[in-house]
Amino acid sequence: MSGTRPSRRSDTRQRIQSVALDLFAEQGYEKTSLREIAERLDVTKAALYYHFKTKEDILSSIYADMTRPVDELIGWAREQPPTLETKLEVLRRYGASLGGAQPLFRFMQENQATLRELKIRHSLKERMMDLVGVMVPPDAPLPTRLRAVTAFMSLHAGVFGLDAVGGSADERMAASLEIAGELITAAHTATGAEPSSR
């Protein structure tokens, strides 16, 4: 190897992403100005424009970089046999992904109105439906599909937005996984995979 790759490209780009995400998550996208981002980095607005074409471009790049794990999870899940065990594993991995990209997911959940207007795949809904597709067949009855949706919402609830309910982050995650597991189990058996004692 002839060195550590000539293009470390300066880490400014990543520092911008990091600071921008913090501010976006804290105050919302619209209320965060480029001036504010630049100030916190001790550079000027014009410097931002060297690295990113527009404000929206900053957000898009963060989004693309951080959602890869979830996309990989969806890809992985589609290759597995649709057993209950697979589905429970998806829940566990998804929960872990949420933890890893917490500020981004929190931002996405709290700024849906903004994201709807931007050209970013607004992901919350779309990815959710991809995941639901892994959990239950597309022709499953409505309550069954909704059960799957609710399972993922329970995970989201456990990871952010529920400090009010108390407990540590780990405890909340464990509790969420328990509830999500019950919902998916109910949905799974309802699809006729293994008729339960009903």
Partner DNA sequence: GTCTATAAGTGGATAGAC
Partner DNA sequence: GTCTATCCACTTATAGAC
Decide: 187 and 148 in contact? Cβ < 8 Å: yes
Work out how close the CB of 196 gets to a copy of itself at its nearest, in angstroms, rounded to a whole number.
Answer: 14
Rounded CA separation 74/91 (Å):
11
Selection from 36, 29, 25, 26 nearest residue 57 by Cα: 29
**Contact call for residues 144 and 190 (beta carbons, < 8 A):** yes
Q: What part of residues 17-76 is at the interface with a copy of itself (CB under 8 A)?
A: 27-31
One residue of 45, 68, 116, 125 binding DNA per CB under 7 A: 45
Distance in Å, CB of 33 to DNA, minimum: 3
Q: Which is nearer to DNA, 49 or 76 (CB)?
A: 49
- For tokens 């995979």, the residue is 193
- Based on the shown chain and the rule CB under 8 A, indicate whether residue 109 belongs to the binding site for a copy of itself: yes
Chain length of the chain = 198
Measured from the CB atom, the residue of 51 and 104 that comes closer to a copy of itself is 104
Q: Evaluate whether 21 touches 3 at the Cβ level (below 8 Å).
A: no
Spell out the residues 6+ positions from residue 14 whose beta carbon is closer than 8 angstroms to its own. Answer: none
Residues that bind DNA (CB under 7 A): 9-10, 12, 32-36, 38, 42-47, 49-51, 53-56
Interaction site with a copy of itself (CB under 8 A): 27-31, 107, 109-114, 116-117, 125-126, 128-129, 132, 142-143, 145-147, 149-150, 153-154, 157-158, 161-162, 164-167, 171-172, 175-176, 178-179, 182-183, 186
